[in-house]
Each structure stands twice: as structure tokens, then as C-alpha cells.
Chains A and B, each alone.
Chain A
Amino acid sequence: MERMDAQKARRLLRPLRYGEWLEAGLAMPPKSLIRHSIRSLEQLAWLFRPVSSAYPSVDLERMREWVAETVGDRELAERIDEVLRRQEGYKQRCLALHNLIQSRCEALRRRAEEEA
């Protein structure tokens, strides 16, 4: 992770305003979808958490754009892009994305707290 100051870390972790949210969902077999509006990077990590009874449901490319443009975390977006370019199924990519986003959030939280 590039060196960033606490202010930037806090900015990336900020709760987003209405209009900046990412529409996503949780899909549950055999037939259901709960819609969710993702309102921060940490909520995005929550969306991708591995649970046995549901799948994160979101247009992955739109999600990458949102991380880059709305959240403003281009470094993370680049690493998401690497995952999306892998020849893997949706579920496998979601697991990789969860690890990636979760680690990023933890790192950002540490950085934000370090200088607090």
C-alpha cells in the first residue's frame, strides 16, 4: 500500500452521501434477492463476506468503477481489476475480492488510528 496520511485513510473510509451509494444485493438460493445500498468501503467488505446461504450480488465492473471514482481508492480499484481479469467463476472472484477489500479496510483503519 502506498504511503498515505491518516486524513486520506479516513477519507477513503468515510460514509458516503446519498447519490454516491452503490446499489447491490444479496442473492439467496433458491429464489431471492435483498437489495442493499452500499454506503462505504467497509460496507462493501461486508457485502462480500463469505456466508453459506447467500451470494454478494453486484455488477463487478460497476463496483470497481465505484471504488475508483466515488470512494476514490484507485489503488484498491487497480487490484480489484486484477481479480476481475482472472479466468475464475463469480464465486471465486468474490472470495478473492472479500480478502482484498477486507485487508484494505483493516490497513486503512490502522493508518487512520495511528495518527489519531
Chain B
Amino acid sequence: MKPIDERGYGGRILHLKLSTLDYEMIPTEKYAEWGGGNGLATALFWDYCEDKTIRDGRDEKNVVVMATSPLCGTAAPSAGGRCEIVGVGCGHYPFGWFTRSNIGGRLSSMLKYAGWDAVVISGRAPRPVWVEITNDRVRYHDAGALWGMNAPDTQKSLFGILDRKKEGWGWQPLPDEEGGIGHTTQRPAIVCITPSGEHRSVHATLVHDAGNVCGQGGFGAVFGAKNLKALSVIGTGGVKAADPAALVRARFRVKERYAPDPHHPDLYHWGMLGNPMAINFAGHIKQSRRQSCVGCLMGCRTRYGMGYANEIKCQTSGWYARFAVHYAKGDEEAVTKIALRVGDYCNVMGVNSYGFQTVVPWLESLWHRGLLGPGKRIDTKLDFSKLGSWEFGKELIDAFAYRRDIGELFGDGVVHGAIKAGLEEEWREGRLDYPYWGVQEHGYDSRAEVEWGFASIMTERDINSHDFNGLFWGATLGMLEGVPPLIEAEELAHIVAKKLHPYVDGPECMDYSDENIYSDAVLHLVRWYIHYNRFWKNSALFCDLRWSDLFDTNAPDNVGATADEEVGEQVYWNAVTGEGISFLDGLKRGQRIYMLHNAIWALQGRHRDMVRFPDYIYDKKLERTELPFFMWIGRDKEGKWGYIDLRGRSLDREKFEDWKTRFYKAEGLDPATGWPTERGLNALGLSFVVETLKAHGKLGKES
């Protein structure tokens, strides 16, 4: 086999030892079996985090790992630009789980070009610092002057500092390089925190460039607790592929067969890879461009010509629109601009906007019900009568960033804050829609889109993985438009089932009718979903918004690119790494990574009894009046496939508990506790975990 740096890896891992402002280099070779991303990072966490029982990511003992994959920095389609962040997080309920998040843009590719596969961050710096990584050179700098700065100001300041020759990033040798070991036209990739991270708010994000944000898990607060203001990376090297021609060939082929056609976009396309989405909830502003992470087939973000809102997308761009509509009295352009500006300000101040989508309507309801306001149960100076204005949006975000006013109450978590205010029932009864681990609902309710909910509760966060979700959008939007489904239900079920083989034997896994959601077929679909995530998506770092591509109407047979022998995930992996693994081998790696996660959660104190949704998911039927229908596929009593409306059901506690038991067994976990068993660990090559679990009394019993 070729040397590691000729098969997609940089070859070295950087360990930043913040407490002593020192660093060391770890050879990647030792960890290559984990692939990259989440697997690599989890293995490093296991080795470098001495106390894995900690329950708050802001603990000095926490170790954070930022990890790339062999595909980062290459043109593997929509896989070249993600960076995985792993460590103990904060803000979850009941406490901060070992968790993951992810950030796009140029960060991971720059790390690779500088020769680094991952960065392990341990300890706590004695004072605020920022770290400069230039190829193999690493320097700590005092960040006193940067402390308190927002995300754009921090990055612009560092661009200025790093552009030492003041040449404005034309072709030039790297800053301060004597002899010129490399030249670049590129800016450094900087990831930073803002005052919200400095104040250790669990809503704090990591921000890179204008709109790349790592939101879930409160990693901004984790960096803040470590006194780490920013990391700047610039590299002039490259990523060598084991078979360069194969990589190029597959990239050309995937464009021909699947990529969105910008000349003839199909807005009603079904699938992921071929979808022309530029996700912007707040309407289009024509003076704009698509913008993408490194290597993407079609960018999902937008850059504008109006001085703000660059690169914001999706939920960030639209969560405030519902309030702005009332304030701007239906003036469409004004609504769009307020929504974009407030969304942008979330990124400027490094505050995770996702929670706002759920929490702000709830806060508004508390205000109307007399539970929030000056001198009320939740005491606030924020004037909710101004909700919908830019000024209110800014004040609200500032409150969360600086942990003042209601930002202090909710600074350790929204559910934590509700309980502190004596409003736990709001959550238990679903007025505060935080269905898994104290994390907000994503929009695809666990009672309807069960794979999303089940996988979220069987992991540690909103899984935020859209693999099957395109089906909901395709069918639902098709119904709105009045066009027939682009793929008939039965055909779709068969297409997906084939992709999931051998996890499932037939199309039953896609039957989301009430009778079938607790079946073994759906159970194995959820297992596939988690394993796919853990390796192909979180470790190989294929972007969630393009992969997996299970079905795709750009292909003549509607069969998606996932696992395809010419353009499937494993084709790119093998072209770069030369490993020659199968798609299924990747899923097995995913299962192994998930097992290691379960070991860490067990050490943190997880037990199967904690793995449950709040009461409303079981006790209240899903209404969702904002949707005329929540379409999926299923079979009727005669076994005939069709599109069905998933609204109107709740989960059954007993059936779900039984489902969990079967799930744990299938995964090699003890169904009584949810802890890994010795046999399960050994079967996955994780025997090194056994003694640690045993020592903590957390080794599961064999069933």
C-alpha cells in the first residue's frame, strides 16, 4: 500500500495542549483504520480524554477534536469541504452528551493542504489565545485584543494580521516564510468564537467565513471555556489520491448523470444529489450568487450585494420571517430583508439560530399568557410587542450572546431554563417542542417521520440527516402543486429497499403506516440510517444536503447515486484512499463508530430508561395545521402501496420500548441498560473498550 500521504491523508494530527500552550504531532497512520471525520475524532477522543464521565463540554477536562477525511480538499462531489467537530457538548438535557457537529466552507480543505488530518484540543489556555497554523508550523498568539469581537471582525482582524506583506493575498509566499516553501492566492481559513462563546452560552457556535457555522452541541461555549478564540489555517500542499484518474472520471460521471442542470433546473426534482436547491426561506434577491463549500456539486448558500446576509441559508434565513411579516405588515421585500438581517446577525454574533425557530414562538406565547415580561415569572426587559422588528431581533440575539436578561436563564439550555423557571410542563406537554435530549424539533416530527425521531433519540441530538426526507418534500410539494408523484410509491419503496440491502430484505421498511413503524423492517432502516451517518456522512464527510442519494429523478431509472458502482460513495473513497472497500464495509465501520459512541455515553451515565421522548410525543397526536398534509409512503390494509398522510398519530410507549429492546439486541447492546456488551464490542474490534467499561461498572450483560 502507498504511504499514507499518497492516499488522501495529510499524515499527521495536531494536538494542541492549551494548558501549557504547547503542541505535539501524532502520526495519522495509527488512526487510519477509523477513516476520518467522526470515526477518527472519536478514536482520538477516546485516547486523549482521560475522564470520559464528564457531563459538560465546558469542563477543562473535555477534549475537542476537529477532523477531516481523506476526501476533504478533493473534488469528490459534495464531500470536499466538511469538517467534523467532536467532544462533550453542552446544552443537552439532562446533561451534555459526547456529541458531534460539523462545519463547511474551506476549513477542512485548508487543514489538509497544510498537512493536518485532525486537530485535538485539550486543556484550557491560561489566557485567551488564537492559534496560527501555516503548513507544519504552529504558533500560539495572545487573543486579548480579539476577545469581545464578533465573528466578521475577528476574522477580518486576523486576515489583516496574517497578510504580513500587505499584498492583499495575491500570489505570495506564506506569511513570514523564509525561502518560500509555498505560494498561495488564498486567504487563511479561520474558525472563531464570538462573545456568546466567550460567555459560555450553550447557544454559541463556531463560525468560519461569513456563514459556515457549527451549531449543535454548544462547541462555541466549549472553545470559550478553553480560552480559544480562533484557529487560522493556511496550507500550500495538496491531497494526493491513490488513483487520480478514477477520481476525476467519477466526478465527471456524477455530473453527467445526477448533478442539477443549471441551464434547465428542475425545482420539483426528487432526490438529494440532483436537487438544485439554494435553500433560502426568505425569498430570492436577484443580485446574488450561489455559494458552496469546497467541492460541492451545487451550492446551497447565497451571497448578496446588500452588505449583509452572505452565506446564510435554510432555517437561518427564514426563522424570523414569521414575526417580520406582522411587523412589516406584509411588505414582502421588507420582510425578506428583516429576516435575512436578523438571521445574519445570528452568525455575526455566533448564536445558534436553530433553537430560535422553536423557542421564540414559545417565548411569544409566554408573553401573551402573562408568564413572561417585566416582573413576570420570566422577568425580561425585552419588549415583545416589537417582535418582528430588526431592533428586537438584534436585542434578542445580543441577550443570548451576552447571557443577559432571558439569555442568562436559558444560557445552559432551553429545557434547563424552562425547568428553572418552573415551566417544565410546557416542555412535557409539547408547547415547548424539544423532543430529543433537550434539543429543538427540526421540522420533521418524530411521530410522523419516525426514522428521524428514532435515530435522534437513539443517538444524542437532532440527527439532522435528510436521507429519506426528500420523499416527504417531493410528495408534499407535488400535492401542493397538484402534480402526480414523480415516483410511484411502490417503485420508490423498492428502489430504497435495494439500496438498504442487506439491512432489509424488501420494501416493507418504507411503509410508515401506523401498523408498521415499530416493525423490524423500520428498525433495520433506522440502523442503516445511523450507520450510514456515522461513516459515510460524518466520517467520510459526504455532505448531508447531497448525500445519501437513494432515489433521484435525474437518473432515467430514478435510482440514486448512493452505493452505485460508478458514482457511489465508495468509488470516491477508494479512488482517494486506494482501500478498495465496499459500500457495505463503510456501513460496518459506521456501526463500529456508533458502538464506541455508546460506550462513551454509558460512561457518561446513559441508561436505556433515559432514552425516551418527552410525554407529548406519546400523549398528543401530531396536528401540524401549517401543513395540509405530511406525505410519506405506506401500505393500506390490503397491502397496496400509496402516499399517505402521517398527521394525526402519536407514538405508543410500550411499542417503542419493545422496539428499543430489539434495536439494542441488533446492535450488540444490552437491552436492559443499553450498554455495550463484551461480545458486541469484540465483534466490532473494540476489545480495548471492555476494560474501561468494566472498571466503571458499565459493561452490558450478554443477553
Contact = CB atoms under 8 A, between A and B. Distances in A.
Contacts of A71: none
Contacts of B479: 90
A48 interface: no
Interface string B282-295: 11100000000000
A23 B627 CA distance: 9
A60 B628 contact: yes
B368 A62 contact: no
Contacts of B470: 31
Contact of B477 (A29, A36, A39): A29
A22 B628 CA distance: 13
A33 B325 contact: no
A32 B281 contact: yes
B365 interface: yes
A59 B625 contact: yes
B326 interface: yes
A35 B482 contact: no
A17 B365 CA distance: 11
B330 A36 contact: no
A92 interface: yes
A93 B330 CA distance: 22
Contacts of B480: 27, 55, 57, 90-91
A88 B482 CA distance: 9
Interface in B562-620: none
B48 to A, nearest CB: 39
Nearest to A25: B626
Interface in B319-356: 321-322, 325-326, 330
A46 to B, nearest CB: 5
A65 to B, nearest CB: 10
Nearest to A28: B281
Interface string B263-297: 00001110000011101111110000000000000
Contacts of A90: 479-482, 628
Nearest to A45: B330
A6 interface: no
A62 B625 contact: yes
Q: How large is the interface on B (under 10, 10 to 19, 20 to 34, 35 or more residues)?
A: 35 or more
A34 B281 contact: yes
B318 to A, nearest CB: 5
Interface in A39-98: 39, 43, 46, 53-55, 57-60, 62-63, 88-92
Contacts of A60: 628
A34 B627 contact: no
Interface string B481-496: 1100000000000000
A43 B330 CA distance: 8
B626 A23 contact: yes
B279 to A, nearest CB: 6
Interface in B174-224: none
B314 interface: yes
A59 to B, nearest CB: 5
Contact of A34 (B321, B624, B625): B321
Contact of A37 (B269, B314, B322): B322
B697 interface: no
Contacts of A35: 322, 361, 626
A101 interface: no
A70 to B, nearest CB: 12
B276 A91 contact: no
Given A53-B284, A55-B481, A92-B482, A31 B625 contact: no
A33 B365 contact: no
Contacts of A17: 368
A18 B268 CA distance: 36
Contacts of B624: 23, 59
A34 B322 contact: yes
Contacts of A27: 476-477, 480
Interface of A: 17-19, 22-25, 27-37, 39, 43, 46, 53-55, 57-60, 62-63, 88-92
Given A23-B626, A34-B282, A43-B326, 12 more contacts: A25-B627, A27-B476, A29-B481, A30-B269, A30-B275, A31-B275, A32-B314, A33-B443, A33-B626, A57-B480, A58-B628, A90-B482
12 contacts: A18-B369, A23-B625, A30-B275, A30-B473, A33-B443, A34-B321, A37-B322, A39-B326, A43-B326, A46-B325, A59-B626, A90-B481
The 4 closest A-B pairs by CB, nearest first: A89-B482, A18-B368, A25-B626, A55-B480
